[in-house]
Amino acid sequence: MSFDPDDLGSNPSDNPDLQQVIAQRFSRRSLLQGGLGVAALGFLGGGSAALLTAGPASAQAVPAAWRGSSPLLGFKPLKVSTLDQVVVPDGYSAQVLIPWGTPLMSTGPAWKKDASNTAAEQAQQVGFNHDGMSYFPIGGSSTRGLLVLNHEYVDQVMLFPDGDAVITAEKVKKALAGHGVTVIEVRMDNRGRWTHVDSTSNRRITGETPMAFSGPVSLSHPMLQTSDPVARGTLNNCANGQTPWGTYLTCEENFNGYFGTEDTSFTPNALEARYGIRKETTTLSGGGANPNAGKVLDFGYRWYTADARFDLAKNRNELNRFGWVVEIDPSKPDSVPVKRTALGRFKHESVAMTESGGRVVAYSGDDENRDYVYKFVGSRAYSTILAEEKSPLDEGILYVAKFNADGSGVWLPLAHGSGPLTTANGWADQADVLIRTRLAADAVGATKLHRPEWISVDPRTKDVYLTLTNGSGAPTVSGRDPDVYGSIVRWKETGGDNTALTFAWEPFLLAGDPQKDNRTTVTEASRFGSPDGIWVDPDGRVWIQTDISNSVQRAGAYERIGNNQMLVADPDRKELRRFLVGPNGCEITGIAVTPDRRTMFVNIQHPGEDTRAIGTPTAADPRKVSNWPDFDPTGRPRPATVVIRKQDGGVIGT
């Protein structure tokens, strides 16, 4: 089963498309070379002009010695790898920590390698498919802290002893327990080895944990009414964020993929359609009658066949309880997670938080082909709001980005009463605007993007980096249509103030393989594609994690790129080096460091998943693609965290 349905897109608006905008910018390169001022040139500087005028990548010199030219990148770059293991540079180690099924407490249920743990046992174990992650130091420590991590989805072939041919209510319960978030205390010994430890902080938040709603949309809103007065759970927790007040933010991404119905009398309304709910057509795309015609299929979980909560015809509004950013306080194990509705409802990939003048700014991309990027700006200093025992994430304005061809950009407010979002136009109030965020963004004229994934703010410069993983169906940069490799865009808010309503942007790099596509701006040695996770460290290193879909990994355009990987870029020289490569069938996602940055945590998600170029795992042979990390001849692959250490104890990346 492929879990990469995001590239379908569900945006029918005729808003401008960033690829058209970038193409226009590239066509202006002679203008830029001529030195004529445009609004954005103040930001662009020398390095960017070089990018804008770059020819085929063969013209770029590959560093003769591994030390290269960047003083930031102090490690020997890796070659591509197709090994079924985690590969790190010379002088580094990678240790497996808290794989799926690890009991949270030493007295908890042991993981069973035949996947026969029950739903109740799974709820006391680390969940499946680790994703975004933060490290919360205890007392500022770099050897003791709480690791908080998301579990984006479950692979039901791996999760159940008999696979997923039959879905039962007990299986739905186990799958829900495999989702959500883990909070677990971890410590390092004096030999640099990390372990998880028993702690009163250890907890699981799952697809069934009761949730609160806060901000303009309350749980009592008519569009959130279901047969259950309690809002249960968080789903498809992709990437994350961390607030300045010590809480964790988890993002609900592809929530539509959990809902479906066999009731052909159900027809999605315009709002549901815009969030990806579709009836099956009468004919298959390849021709022939569609046996599911008129039904709404989910992404393959089929929970709606065993649990009415996920059946759209029976519980339509359950869908509207998802698509939010959820705040969790890891220091309070009994606290109820809160859905922070002021940040909008869409397929939130991640939340990148910063502050300016004491006000919070939270950036978040909507990961769908031809959807948008947003930012929330707090209305007052967050310390003032906290002192009133209120949430800084409940008071502020949500904006959506418009990118202009001249390198300028503007943030458009999604505020009730402003622009087209008026009562006369059918927008009832701010809650209505937020529940229908995508439609509000369509109405104000936001710029479509090719699957905006993670965002990170450079802590030195306040520049904002955004990965656009890949996309299709639009005129693209240098004729790349579909853009199978993706790109990274960055911008500077006017005056370096992240609350500003205008910005200057540029393409930072265009991913690719120079032997397959001479429009890429990366070299032969650092060829890569499908950037997803991104984090700019305090020295400015840009850490980039890839998520090449298992449907295209190691074949075609990705034939020479190997397994998914993590690279590091110099933000000024744009030199790029491969730092880590994962095992077969995985993606690399999630990145967290200790305060001293001498330990880095990275997640290996979905090792061994169905990979077209390798094979299809089954209940009888779950090891078909990978058997990482246990390599037990009768076991199965397990998503896990890996701990990266430099053997000399130095800062990671130096």
Q: Kindly list the residues in this chain that would bind ligand FEO in the complex (CB under 6 A).
A: 152, 238, 253, 349, 367, 453, 532
Q: How far is the CB of 453 from Ca ion (least distance, A)?
A: 5
Q: How far is the CB of 131 from Ca ion (least distance, A)?
A: 6
Nearer to ligand FEO, 75 or 100 (CB): 100
Q: How far is the CB of 116 from Ca ion (least distance, A)?
A: 26
Q: Which of the 8 DSSP states describes residue 105?
A: S
CA dist., res. 551 & res. 615, Å (int): 10
C-beta of residue 266 within 8 angstroms of C-beta of residue 152: no
Strands 338-340 and 565-569, sheet pairing: unpaired
Nearer to ligand FEO, 419 or 482 (CB): 482
Assigned token pair, 636 = 């199965």
* Residue 108: count of CB within 10 angstroms of its CB: 15
Contacts of 529 (CB under 8 A, 6+ apart): 470, 484, 485, 486, 511, 512, 513, 546, 548, 557, 558, 561
Nearer to ligand FEO, 483 or 570 (CB): 483
Q: Which long-range contacts (CB under 8 A, 24 or more apart) does 71-77 make?
A: 72/539, 72/540, 72/541, 72/568, 72/570, 72/653, 73/541, 73/568, 73/570, 73/575, 73/577, 73/653, 74/653, 74/654, 75/577, 75/579, 75/653, 75/654, 77/525, 77/526, 77/577, 77/578, 77/579
Nearer to ligand FEO, 453 or 463 (CB): 453
394 binds, among Ca ion, ligand FEO, none (CB under 5 to 8 A by kind): none
Report if residue 368 touches Ca ion, rule: CB under 5 A: no
Give residues 509-528 in contact with Ca ion (rule: CB under 5 A). none
**Helix, coil or strand: residue 403:** strand
C-beta of residue 606 within 8 angstroms of C-beta of residue 129: yes
Nearer to ligand FEO, 17 or 367 (CB): 367
Q: How far is the CB of 374 from Ca ion (least distance, A)?
A: 16
Nearer to Ca ion, 75 or 301 (CB): 301
Cα three-residue angle 419-421-423, rounded to 5 degrees: 120
* Residue 429: count of CB within 10 angstroms of its CB: 13
176 binds, among Ca ion, ligand FEO, none (CB under 5 to 8 A by kind): none
Nearer to Ca ion, 155 or 547 (CB): 547
- For Ca ion, which residue of 547, 570, 609, 610 counts as binding (CB under 5 A)? 547
Which residues, listed in sequence order, are joined to residue 184 by a DSSP beta bridge?
147
Report if residue 483 touches Ca ion, rule: CB under 5 A: no
272 binds, among ligand FEO, Ca ion, none (CB under 5 to 8 A by kind): none
Q: How far is the CB of 56 from ligand FEO (least distance, A)?
A: 30
Report if residue 155 touches Ca ion, rule: CB under 5 A: no
Distance of CA 533 to the CA centre of its chain: 6
Nearer to Ca ion, 347 or 624 (CB): 347
395 binds, among Ca ion, ligand FEO, none (CB under 5 to 8 A by kind): none
Nearer to Ca ion, 369 or 430 (CB): 369
Side chain identity, residue 149: L
Q: How far is the CB of 464 from Ca ion (least distance, A)?
A: 17
Q: Which of the 8 DSSP states describes residue 491?
A: E
Q: How far is the CB of 193 from ligand FEO (least distance, A)?
A: 30
Report if residue 610 touches Ca ion, rule: CB under 5 A: no
Stretch of residues binding Ca ion (CB under 5 A), selected from 49-57, 546-554, 625-633, 637-645: 546-554
253 binds, among Ca ion, ligand FEO, none (CB under 5 to 8 A by kind): ligand FEO
Residue 506: half-sphere exposure toward Cβ, Cα within 13 Å:
25
Nearer to ligand FEO, 257 or 330 (CB): 257
Nearer to ligand FEO, 207 or 215 (CB): 207
506 binds, among ligand FEO, Ca ion, none (CB under 5 to 8 A by kind): none
C-beta of residue 236 within 8 angstroms of C-beta of residue 243: no
Cβ-closest residue to Ca ion? 547
Name the region of 32 (left: φ>0; alpha: ψ -120 to 50; beta: rest). Answer: alpha
Q: With contacts defined by CB under 5 A, how many residues of the chain interact with Ca ion? A: 2
Q: How far is the CB of 551 from ligand FEO (least distance, A)?
A: 15
Nearer to ligand FEO, 132 or 562 (CB): 132
Q: How far is the CB of 643 from ligand FEO (least distance, A)?
A: 22
C-beta of residue 463 within 8 angstroms of C-beta of residue 491: yes
329, 323, 324: which is closest to 183 by C-alpha? 329
598, 522, 513: which is closest to 562 by C-alpha? 513
Report if residue 394 touches Ca ion, rule: CB under 5 A: no
Q: How many residues does the chain have?
A: 654
Strands 231-232 and 210-214, sheet pairing: antiparallel
Q: How far is the CB of 236 from ligand FEO (least distance, A)?
A: 7
575 binds, among ligand FEO, Ca ion, none (CB under 5 to 8 A by kind): none
C-beta of residue 343 within 8 angstroms of C-beta of residue 393: yes
Assigned token pair, 156 = 């039901």
Cβ-closest residue to ligand FEO? 238
98 binds, among Ca ion, ligand FEO, none (CB under 5 to 8 A by kind): none
559, 555, 552: which is closest to 527 by C-alpha? 559
Nearer to Ca ion, 145 or 531 (CB): 531
Assigned token pair, 577 = 């080096």
- For Ca ion, which residue of 327, 371, 506, 532 counts as binding (CB under 5 A)? 532
Q: How far is the CB of 605 from Ca ion (least distance, A)?
A: 5
Classify residue 270 by burial, with Cβ atoms within 10 Å: 0-12, 13-18, 19+. Answer: exposed
Nearer to ligand FEO, 590 or 637 (CB): 590
Q: How far is the CB of 587 from ligand FEO (least distance, A)?
A: 8
Stretch of residues binding Ca ion (CB under 5 A), selected from 62-70, 311-319, 540-548, 555-563: 540-548
Q: How far is the CB of 400 from ligand FEO (least distance, A)?
A: 18
Strands 464-468 and 487-493, sheet pairing: antiparallel
SS (H, E, C) 119-149: HHHHCCECCCCEEEEEEEECCCCCCEEEEEE
Q: How far is the CB of 529 from Ca ion (least distance, A)?
A: 11
Interface contacts to Ca ion, rule CB under 5 A: 532, 547
